[in-house]
Amino acid sequence: MQIAEFQRFIRDKYYDRDVQRGTPGTFLWFVEEVGELASALAGDNHHDKEEEFADVLAWLCTLANINGVDLEAAIAKYTSGKVEGFK
C-alpha cells in the first residue's frame, strides 16, 4: 500500500469523526500515540513497537486529512532529490 492509499483509507473510515474533533483534539491524540511509541521503543517487545508505529502513522494521516495536506505530495521534498544536507 502506498502512502496516499493509506491516507485515503484513514480518511474514508474516520474523516467525519476526525473533522468534528478538530485539529487541537486530534493533535493531542497524536502526541499521546507518540508517547506510547517512546515507551515501546524503550522496551524489547517488537510487536509493541510495530503497533505504536502504525498508530502514529494513522494519527499523522488523520491530522493531514483534516488540514488538507496530501502527505505523499508533502514528502516529495525528500524524494525529489532536492534536499541538500541531512534532515
Tell me, what's the pLDDT at 82?
73
Cβ–Cβ under 8 Å, residues 61 and 6: yes
CA atoms within a 13 Å half-sphere pointing along the CA-CB vector of 29: 15
What does the longest C-alpha to C-alpha distance in the chain come to? 40
Chain centroid to Cα 15, Å, comes to: 14
Q: Which residues of the chain have pLDDT under 50?
A: none
Q: CATH number of 21-67: 3.30.590.10, 1.10.287.1080, 1.10.3720.10, 3.40.309.10?
A: 1.10.287.1080
| Domain residue ranges in the chain | 21-67
Percent of the chain predicted with pLDDT > 70: 95
* pLDDT per position as a tens digit, 17-42: 999 999 999 999 999 999 999 999 99
Tell me, what's the pLDDT at 33?
98
